[in-house]
Structure 1
Amino acid sequence: MKDSLDRSIGHRLHRAARLQRALAARHLAELGLFPGQESVLKLLSESDGRTMTELAAALQVRPPTASKTVGRLSAQGLLTRKASDGDGRLVRVWLTEEGRQRAGAVDGIWDRIEDIMIAGLDSKDRKRLRKLLRKLDKNLASALGATLPAGAEDEEAEDAAPESDAPVLAGEAL
């Protein structure tokens, strides 16, 4: 007889997220990183020189949390903080060369974890899963009175496209 928790979508989703985070932590440790730090490196690799406010907003965390993470990454020599040219009170965060290299290595980790997560799912299943997860996001955000992340509308439009049987590249985003 199965426990009611085994039939609960919320429980299954929570368990899958915990397992994914544990696997990510194992791989990130090889780079000397903790979960969450890789997101800062990736955000800066996409748009270097962000302010703490911009980083906190992009990470969807409070500014003190972003500041603590930046401090730890700075102590490892992966980031530098510099006063803005136009306003000395405004501090911007920049990747060091070592930080840029580790940010690049994060892609390989994310790709490996993605491959593990989607093993055995064909392209239709992956597309359906992405669509269902976006629906869950939308429902939960609505219940909290929160807004969906930027680009959510683009992803929904992607769902309207016909199914493709084209081969999937390693690390296809969910």
Structure 2
Amino acid sequence: MSCQITATVAVDTCGFKQPGGQLLLTQFWDTDPPTGPTDPWTIHGLWSNNCDDAWEQICDNSRKYKNITEILEPLAALTLKSMDVCRKDNRGNDERLWEYKFNKHGICVSTLDPECYDAYKPAREVADYFTKAVDVFKTLPLYKWLAAADIVPSTTATYARAAIQDALRAAYNQTVAINCSKSKELSKQRYH
């Protein structure tokens, strides 16, 4: 896995993610309250990773957007349809979540800077950011991977962290960072 390029000359940040060179996708399993469908996890976010478990955020206030739905309808209708299912806010305000995530993380993805587009049109990077998040999410069928190892959501069964990590490593070919809630429920996964 490539993570960081140390360059002594100017680097074209349109050609690769800088700093870090990597994106991180995080998935949630929300149980309190339950959100999203009953089997797949939901997308928590996609953001730049600096290779040290740190990331950039709120990098350019001039590029903050509102009304993500209105932006996506003409530019990425299929992405919006997927987000209505897999990108849910646990308080029921998906639009607020989408605005927050783009304005916190999307504006920090160097490859989506307006100058990286040949014929930039305002808000194009919003559609590209969410389309990338949905596309990556679709390649990571977490529920299916865990179910193949007989690990399924339950209010009575418990699973060892090692068993969960082994199942995910076998399917993903890399270690997946897992997090549990305060009540010891599996709640979040991070993929580099």
Normalized per residue, the structure richer in helix is 1
Could you tell me the TM-score, scaled by structure 1's length? 0.27
Normalized per residue, the structure richer in strand is 2
Could you tell me the TM-score, scaled by structure 2's length? 0.25
